């Protein structure tokens, strides 16, 4: 192997970002090995919204038909007042998104999206190793030597491969840290502060539409806006299930510290305070919630935050964001598409390829991170800001609710 040529990529993390990157690189002929710390690939039982900027990429990867089988395609997004139940504004999705942005707006169960990406990555020949926790790497002339907590040394400098390293399937030319918000790869690459707690707690639930009274069943995306809170719900699993996310302000209690700790309806209702009858009835229809403490980082400031030498970050490892633009996974998928393009366009020079990737991605990721923070302030507004928000939605509707630079932009 030459030190510069990109024949093989190692990806740390098999979440949506890591799987997407593995699939995109392998489809372009790069040999990919993916190391995931979990013993099996699993996504939490929750939904995800994917805008046209993302479904467009999934279609380009040949996943359009499979997506159509499992996703839902809401016709509109409606914003409502959490207290009065009043409709504040609507954004047509469905045919409008398709016509304007060339791809649909979809809502999907995370496990279904993960399964699409996993199947696609396997078909493209990705070598997946589960139960491998990446700890760090050494940059050697021959390639990147990686270690995992399980004791398997991966890479050219592995003692066990020694002189036969060039023929070893473990040799890597590039390392991609797609290991999420608490990324170990990021820690070694940037050595910065840990992610920050946002002061917001997310409660999530899935409910079968068949179990709901008829007037609570819906195929729309609905966002309820209130003081220091908002609630989003949308259909998943071809519309048969409803995914709900309620965000409130709160302390990072011991319970919220734990990943996916059980949340309680009572605690949620208390944190929400007074909400209108419509929203209250919907929340009370949920038998069980799961709770997350939301963390993020300040927006990316430069390309060097995303790539250095032969190592790059992708998805939440690079730019964890608040979920108020519903684009964290979307940006990870966009990252994956650009990464694969850059690695193959600059095939002879890995570091140049990763630099080009970071140059193309950092500003858009920063813009989405910034907009997500701003959306949170607007969604949770009180007093005059809330009045102004409601008025502008009523008067301008789609013009303030659509995000053309986001849905129409991104990699092609």
Ligand X SMILES: Cc1cc2nc3c(=O)[nH]c(=O)nc-3n(C[C@H](O)[C@H](O)[C@H](O)COP(=O)(O)OP(=O)(O)OC[C@H]3O[C@@H](n4cnc5c(N)ncnc54)[C@H](O)[C@@H]3O)c2cc1C
- Tell me which residues touch ligand X (CB under 6 A): 12-18, 35-38, 48-49, 133-134, 178-181, 184, 202, 245, 292, 294, 315-317, 323, 326-330, 332
- Please, what is the minimum distance in Å from the beta carbon of residue 137 to ligand X? 11
- Please, what is the minimum distance in Å from the beta carbon of residue 27 to ligand X? 18
Contacts of 317 (CB under 8 A, 6+ apart): 13, 17, 177, 178, 179, 180, 181, 183, 185, 186
Best CA proximity match to 242, nearest among 281, 212, 208: 208
- Please, what is the minimum distance in Å from the beta carbon of residue 136 to ligand X? 9
Q: What's the half-sphere exposure (Cβ side, CA atoms, 13 Å) at 83? A: 13
What are the residue ranges of helices labelled H in 260-349? 265-272, 277-284, 328-345
Q: Which is nearer to ligand X, 332 or 386 (CB)?
A: 332
- Please, what is the minimum distance in Å from the beta carbon of residue 81 to ligand X? 22
Residue 284, CA distances (Å) to 62, 228, 268, 288 in order = 40, 19, 10, 10
Structure tokens at 18: 């890591």
- Please, what is the minimum distance in Å from the beta carbon of residue 394 to ligand X? 25
Q: Which is nearer to ligand X, 8 or 204 (CB)?
A: 204
Q: Which is nearer to ligand X, 16 or 303 (CB)?
A: 16
Q: What is the DSSP string of 327-388?
A: -HHHHHHHHHHHHHHHHHHTTT-HHHHHHHHHHHHHHHHHHHHHHHHHHHHHHT--HHHHHH
Q: Which is nearer to ligand X, 314 or 342 (CB)?
A: 314
Q: Which is nearer to ligand X, 220 or 352 (CB)?
A: 220
Residue 380 φ then ψ, to 5°: -95, 15
Q: Which is nearer to ligand X, 279 or 372 (CB)?
A: 372
- Please, what is the minimum distance in Å from the beta carbon of residue 330 to ligand X? 4
């Amino acid at each position: 192997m030459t030190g510069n040529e990109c024949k093989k990529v190692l990806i740390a993390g098999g979440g949506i970002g890591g799987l997407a990157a593995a699939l995109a690189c392998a489809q372009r002929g790069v040999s990919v090995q993916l190391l995931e710390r979990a013993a099996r690939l699993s996504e939490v039982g929750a939904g995800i919204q994917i805008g046209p900027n993302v479904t467009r990429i999934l279609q380009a990867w040949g996943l359009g038909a499979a997506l159509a089988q499992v996703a839902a395609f809401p016709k509109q997004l409606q914003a409502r007042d959490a207290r009065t139940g009043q409709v504040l504004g609507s954004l047509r999705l469905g045919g409008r998104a398709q016509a304007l942005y060339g791809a649909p707006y979809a809502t999907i169960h995370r496990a279904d999206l993960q399964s699409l990406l996993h199947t696609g990555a396997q078909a493209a020949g990705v070598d997946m190793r589960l139960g491998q926790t990446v700890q760090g790497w050494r940059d050697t002339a021959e390639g990147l030597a990686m270690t995992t907590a399980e004791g398997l040394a991966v890479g050219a400098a592995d003692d066990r491969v020694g002189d036969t390293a060039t023929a070893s399937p473990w040799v890597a030319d590039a390392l991609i840290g797609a290991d999420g918000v608490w990324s170990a790869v990021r820690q070694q690459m940037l050595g910065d502060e840990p992610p920050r707690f946002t002061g917001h707690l997310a409660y999530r639930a899935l409910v079968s539409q068949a179990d709901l009274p008829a007037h609570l069943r819906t195929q729309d995306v609905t966002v309820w806006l209130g003081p220091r809170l908002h609630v989003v719900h949308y259909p998943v699993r071809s519309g048969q299930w409803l995914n709900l996310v309620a965000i409130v302000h709160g302390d990072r209690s011991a319970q919220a510290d734990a990943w996916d700790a059980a949340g309680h309806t009572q605690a949620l209702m208390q944190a929400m305070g007074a909400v209108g009858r419509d929203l209250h009835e919907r929340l009370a229809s949920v038998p069980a919630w799961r709770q997350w403490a939301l963390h993020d980082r300040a927006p990316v400031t430069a390309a060097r935050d995303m790539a250095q030498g032969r190592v790059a970050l992708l998805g939440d490892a690079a730019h964890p964001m608040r979920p108020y633009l519903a684009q964290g996974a979307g940006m990870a998928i966009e990252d994956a598409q650009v990464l694969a393009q850059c690695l193959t366009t600059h095939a002879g020079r890995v570091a140049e390829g990763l630099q080009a990737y970071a140059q193309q991605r950092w500003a858009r990721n920063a813009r989405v991170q910034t907009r997500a923070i701003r959306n949170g302030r607007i969604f949770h507004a009180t007093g005059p800001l809330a009045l102004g928000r409601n008025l502008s939605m009523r008067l301008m509707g789609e013009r303030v609710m659509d995000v053309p630079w986001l849905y129409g932009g991104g990699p092609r």
